[in-house]
Chains A and B, each alone.
Chain A
């Protein structure tokens, strides 16, 4: 069955530290993969997406993600976290020929001053 898994429910980092949020997927073919961010009380904002091509994708707000087929992963990274990055982060995937996203359960990021 198709699935998207975010193994970490909570992550806490200090401001200025690097960040990596994990996302694993299970799809028969190469999936379309997305990272969204949800700030408290807000809707979801797209950070970046992977459809095909270069496996390292750049997004907004200094985020990047790397698609690794061998590990079935699409981890989100940021070299230096800012306090305003504190939010809930969702990985989502979709298969070719379907409208449907499957969302991971989210990772809540806390940033310490």
Chain B
């Protein structure tokens, strides 16, 4: 049983396209996150949702739009893809709200924009 799953695992696309990455967790957690890992392995949080409500929205271009249809799913839609969007995107989830809890990460989606 995969705790946090992401699809697709790899995504190769052209500049200007729109793409989505999906994330699902079966841990019963309340909070989900999207992280971006750049080519230097630096990990930075992008968004977080708690019970379908946006609670963290870092300085991210508005071409990136998260959507949480229910607390087990958090999808990331990216419009007008740019070369600089090439990275690995990780989804994560955690149990509680309001305090720092252990985050469980998905396997990542490797996005390459040509």
State the A residues within 8 Å of B (CB).
31-32, 34, 36, 38, 42-46, 49, 88, 90, 94-101, 103, 105-106, 108
Contact = CB atoms under 8 A, between A and B. Distances in A.
Nearest to A106: B41
Given A44-B92, A99-B56, A108-B41, 4 more contacts: A46-B102, A100-B48, A105-B40, A106-B41
| B interface SS class | strand
B42 A105 contact: yes
B108 A43 contact: yes
Contact of B50 (A46, A96, A99): A99
B99 interface: yes
Contacts, number: 58
B102 A34 contact: yes
B100 A95 contact: yes
B43 interface: yes
A36 B103 CA distance: 10
Q: Which 8 A-B pairs have the closest CB atoms?
A: A94-B100, A32-B100, A44-B105, A103-B43, A43-B107, A43-B105, A106-B41, A43-B108
